[in-house]
Structure 1
Amino acid sequence: MDAPPLDWGRLLVSQLEFYWDAHLWPRLNGLTDDEYFWEPVPDCWSVRAGDDGRFRADGPATRRTPQPVTTIAWRMMHIAVGCFATRTSTFFAPGDADMFDPAHVPADLPHTAADGLALLHDSYQQWHDHIAALDDEGMRRPLGPKGAYFSADPMAALIVHINRETMHHGGEICLLRDLYGARRGAVIR
Structure 2
Amino acid sequence: MATTTPPRLLPLLQQFDFGRKRLIDRMTGPVMDSGNGTDVAVGAMTDAEYLWEPAPGCWSLRRRADGPGPGATLLLGAGPWGRDFAPAPHPVPPPLTTIAWRLSHLSEQLALRADHTAGSRSLSRDEYRAAGDAAGAVAAFEAASAAWRAALLAADDTALDTVGHSAYPYGSDPEDPFIETVWWVNQELLHHGAEIALLRDLYRRRAQ
Superposition TM-score, scaled by structure 1 size = 0.82
Encode CA deviations 1:80-113: one digit per residue, 9 max, x unaligned.
00x2011011111124x4x8x435x41x321210
Partner of 1:31: 45
State how 1:154-173 maps to structure 2 within 5 Å: 154-173=177-196
TM superposition shift of 1:144 = 5.8
Partner of 1:44: 58
Change (3 A) 1:125 1:145: closer
Amino acid at match of 2:177: P
3-state SS of paired residue (1:66) = coil
Of the structure 1 ranges 50-59 and 31-40, higher mean CA displacement relative to structure 2 is found in 50-59
1 CA distance for matches of 2:168 and 2:139? 27
Q: Structure 1: 5+ residue runs without aligned partners?
A: 1-5
Amino acid at match of 2:54: P
More helix by share: 1
TM superposition shift of 1:150 = 4.2
1 CA distance for matches of 2:17 and 2:162? 22
Change (3 A) 1:88 1:114: same
Please, what is the CA RMSD of the aligned residues? 2.2
Q: Alignment length, in residue pairs?
A: 173
Partner of 2:39: none
State how 1:1-12 maps to structure 2 within 5 Å: 7-12=7-12
3-state SS of paired residue (1:48) = strand
Give 1:134's match in structure 2, choosing from 136, 143, 155: 155
More strand by share: 2
TM superposition shift of 1:61 = 6.1
1 CA distance for matches of 2:199 and 2:98? 8
3-state SS of paired residue (1:44) = coil
1 CA distance for matches of 2:168 and 2:61? 26
TM superposition shift of 1:60 = 2.9
Q: Structure 2: 5+ residue runs without aligned partners?
A: 1-5, 29-43, 67-78
1 CA distance for matches of 2:142 and 2:134? 12
3-state SS of paired residue (2:175) = coil
Partner of 2:98: 71
Partner of 2:20: 20
State how 1:97-176 maps to structure 2 within 5 Å: 97=122, 101-103=124-126, 105-106=127-128, 108-143=129-164, 146-147=167-168, 150-176=173-199
Change (3 A) 1:122 1:179: same
State how 1:44-63 maps to structure 2 within 5 Å: 44-51=58-65, 54-60=80-86, 63=90
- The answer to whether the Cα contact below 8 Å between 2:49 and 2:200 also exists between their aligned partners in 1 is yes
Encode CA deviations 1:100-155: one digit per residue, 9 max, x unaligned.
x435x41x321210101100111011111221231111111111692555433111
Superposition TM-score, scaled by structure 2 size = 0.75
Change (3 A) 1:18 1:34: same
